[in-house]
Amino acid sequence: MKRSFFSLLTASCILGVVCFTNCKKEQDAPAFTESATVAAPVSTVGIATVDRIDEIVKDLAKENYSLGFAKTSPSIGITKTSYGTPGYVRLSSSDILKLSAELRRYQKYVPIWKRPTFVQPTCPEMVIDPRVLENIRQYLVKADPSQFSGLIEVGFVTGGGFMATEKFVSQYANLKPDAFDNATAGLDGARFLMLTDVNGREFTRSFHGYANINDIVFKAYRKNWTDIFKPTLKGCFDPIVLKSIKEKLQQINPAAYSSLTITPLAENKSIAIMY
């Protein structure tokens, strides 16, 4: 888990796909990274006969955890590179992640998410059950203290949380409002979620808004990440808010956003996605 992560998405309003690349938790800022692999510890001990991670998570539904490793390490019971669901989106408190007071005006919660279509697994590693999360952290620290001793747990607002290092988490404090925040200052962040590619112009971080798509879309209509998020996705949920965001993005950068479309969810026309 020495690289950086990415993050969460909710379905109350507008989502945007954020591209995180080669996220090293010790180096890259969370606003600019989307993938992070967890390097599995190396050991010379004899090959284990059981998968230790599977044993720890055996009582959880797969959608309630997501773990990824750069490679397997059968000698200590890590026999797969990924466990649980391939993609997720959850919300963490802006207080816990210590966002600046200036940014908290826009971000009451912070989306933490993992995109399933990305080639490598991503960090942070998510587990809904706090007891299981702690068991996994303790196991990793014991298996390879030189690599995992710095892992801490950061909670989600609905329970459970993700694992990261203090250095990685501390980078959130340096994030500032950007052009998109200024353009959409009057919109309710609970009614949209944007996960976007950071290009240094309108977006200087990868997430905006904090709509709870887990409850609004995923659970309510039995959808998952791949049902909603397409490669070019820019947002999800409230069609009215999405329309306003689309117009504002086209004003900021017409060339980049002239082709954006808003499509209602088949099961409920009051929910939409923008891409």
Q: What pLDDT, in 10s, does the model give residues 220-231?
A: 998 887 788 766
Q: Which residues contact 16 (CB under 8 A, 6 or more apart)?
A: 193, 194, 195, 196, 207, 208, 233, 234, 235
pLDDT tens figures, 35-71: 333 444 444 344 556 899 999 999 999 989 998 877 7
Q: Among 27-31, 83-87, 232-236, 257-261, which is the least confidently predicted range?
A: 27-31
Return the domain boundaries, the chain. 52-238
Please, is 82 exposed, middle or buried when counting C-beta atoms within 10 Å of its C-beta (0-12, 13-18, 19+)? middle
Among residues 24, 14, 118, 28, the alpha carbon closest in space to that of 66 is found at: 118
The pTM of this model reads 0.79
Q: How far apart are CA 81 and CA 35, in angstroms?
A: 14
